[in-house]
Chains A and B, each alone.
Chain A
Amino acid sequence: MANVLVGKNFTPPDIRGKVTGRAKYAEDFRADGMLFCRLLTSPMPHARVRDIDASAALAMQGVVAHPDRR
């Protein structure tokens, strides 16, 4: 492998896609029915999470689920 690349000019195979904007990054993909998640992190710098009351979040329009560690 080293003999193939070292000391030789190399054009990355994806560089054309990068300069034309055709290269796809994670945020550029969309699928039907795709859900989006959002992190709500603790306001406390160091604390034990005893319970999470997600009822207000789940009542919001468009909210599908509240995944947690349970």
Chain B
Amino acid sequence: MTDHHEFFLPESQPAPSRREFIKGVIASGVAVSSVAYVPTTWAQSAPGKSGAVERLLSLNVNGQTRRVDVLPNETLAMTLRYKLGLTGTKLGCDRAECGACTVIIDGVTHYSCSTLTHRVRGRQITTVEGLESPSGELHPVQQAFMDELGPQCGFCTPGQVMSAVALLAANPNPTRQEAREAMAGNLCRCGAYDHYLNGVMRAARES
């Protein structure tokens, strides 16, 4: 927290009072929205700045090998969305709270907003764009979410889909409680949790 506090509020006192601290939390909450985050990261990529050099690496995304220049401090969500154009992966909170950025790495769900791209070299990354069959047929989870009207605004849906896909790959016949626990890392502001759960159970039945 101290790091963030000082980063976003360089004028703040070294030993913040409780009131300063609360203000800091509020201010950094505003500053860390993903829109504001982009120019900061890009500005750091400027040549001549020490410690921020892009390095070319190969990523295995949705079965394809993609070559991309990556900063040392770049998160996987940033790389996927703004360098590889895979905007299906959403950035909700950018701090591992909401799960909108969930992707599957070697069969396990990860928050891509809190995963450094350099850490996933040589791993198999699956995003929501990689679920459909080559013929365009939806993954059973995607079809079930449509049938159960899971999405309302739809912003959390790609993350919900990825969590459900990883659950069913590991446990094809979960109980409703197991599904609930597997989906616990994905927040939905519309409150469509039961619809998503119905979707997971339908996908388990039908796949």
Which residues of A come within 8 Å of B, CB atoms? 11-12, 14-25, 27-28, 30, 36, 38-39, 41, 43, 45, 60-62
Contacts and interface: CB of A to CB of B under 8 A. Distances in A.
Main secondary structure of the interface of A (DSSP, over half): loop
B46 A14 contact: no
A69 B12 CA distance: 25
Contacts, number: 79
A18 B151 contact: yes
Interface residues of B, number: 41
A38 B39 CA distance: 9
A43 B23 contact: yes
Contacts of B89: 21
Contact of A43 (B11, B142, B157): B11
A28 B87 contact: yes
Given A25-B90, A39-B30, A62 B46 contact: yes
Contacts of A17: 154
